[in-house]
Structure 1
Amino acid sequence: MTTTPRRGRRPGSPDTRAAILAAARERFARQGYAGTSVRGVAAAAGVDSALVHHYFGAKEDLFIAALELRVDPREVVPQLLAGGIEGAGERLVRTFLDVWDDEETRLPLLALLRGAVEPGGDRLVRDGFVRMVLEPLGAGLGVDRAELRMALTASQLFGLVLFRYVIRVEPLASAPVEELVATYAPVVQGYLSDPLP
């Protein structure tokens, strides 16, 4: 006798949404964005994939929800592209600091960053920041050698985050945002538009 899989909410589980998110976080961390399917997340959570779509929409929306970000990277990229390559370094550094300086936004980001050194955690950072922000930014700006330029940009920004927000090295930890923008923006702009060796 064959049984049909139960659709909808799992029996005995009042928080199906949380179960889906937990399964999604684990899958995205272990398999990366490309290797994770909505069907696989649904199976791990013990629900039908239609329920995953009901709660979260497309896979990209599920990924954003799993990262617990208050800022949707897909909405940030068009703002960064406004004005083209000129001034893109300043816009990127300013936006990055605005996001990280917001305490409510910073807490899940810190968890994500600290998790980057755990097995599979690197995929969340790579898929979350590189795939959803830097790659579209590089493509939208039309930079040459985009993969290298975006990796250099990421190294600069994550170095700043590490020293300012994680290990809190002074004077970076308490430096005014405008001072940091003035210092870092030309460097990031150079990664985006200056000739590379």
Structure 2
Amino acid sequence: MSPRGRRPAGEDARAQIVEAARTELAAKGYDGTSLRGVARAAGVDPALVHHYFAGKTALFAAAMEVPFDPRQVIDGVLEAPVDRLGESLVRAFLGVWDTPEGRVRIAALLRSAATHPDAMTLLEQFLVREIFGRVAGRAGPRGLERRAGLVATQMIGLGFARYVAELPGVADAEAEELVAAVAPVIQRYLDLPGS
């Protein structure tokens, strides 16, 4: 007979939470998933989810096996002056993606999103709200969704071209060459007047 009630914390608790998060994210998307719902699905106390993960962003990163904490990366990006956010963003992401583990993870994530509509929706919700939405918000509140979406198209396109399609001239370019080429475009999107 199995014990009743919530599972206690232990070695398996974190793994159970991550697995429950994957299930919840697949079923409800990023916007529809809550930490409380993940705790319920994992059969653990919500405080245990908070013990292991600093919030929904960190839990998403663990569930999707993203090789970095997105919130920490974006916090670093947001320290740049507003007129240098594009440069800060491109440099930060290439710094993470260009590691051996980063290349494998970002390629897998982008391939999955390209071939599975649910994965694309999940990635889109996460990127627009938690990553590019925060950067666009730092540049100003007006037209936030449009600016965040445009930044996402550029960064996802860069990731796909460099790590999945491995396009010549992009895949073999030095990171600083790409920063110089792409950052002004990102900055222009961030600087668009609001609607």
Fold-level similarity (TM above 0.5): yes
Correspondence for 2:5: 6
Change (3 A) 1:170 1:58: closer
Could you tell me which amino acid in structure 2 is paired with residue 181 of structure 1? V
- TM norm structure 2: 0.83
Change (3 A) 1:116 1:173: same
Q: Is the 8 A contact 1:38 1:49 kept in 2?
A: yes
The 5-angstrom pairing of residues 91-170 of structure 1 reads: 91-117=88-114, 118-142=116-140, 144-170=142-168
Tell me how far 1:137 sits from its aligned partner: 1.2
Q: How many residues align?
A: 192
Could you tell me which amino acid in structure 2 is paired with residue 116 of structure 1? A
Deviations 1:71-96, CA, capped at 9 Å, x for gaps? 22222223222343212211111112
Q: Is the 8 A contact 2:142 2:194 kept in 1?
A: no
Bigger shift: residues 16-25 or 180-189: 16-25
Correspondence for 2:188: 190
Higher helix share: 2
Q: Is the 8 A contact 1:29 1:123 kept in 2?
A: no
- TM norm structure 1: 0.82
Superposed CA RMSD in Å reads 2.7
Give the unaligned 5+ runs of structure 1: none
Could you tell me which amino acid in structure 2 is paired with residue 66 of structure 1? A
2:12 to 12, 15, 32: 15
Structure having the higher Rg: 1
Q: Is the 8 A contact 2:66 2:106 kept in 1?
A: yes
Task: Give the whole-Å Cα distance in 2 for the aligned partners of 1:16 and 1:56.
Answer: 12
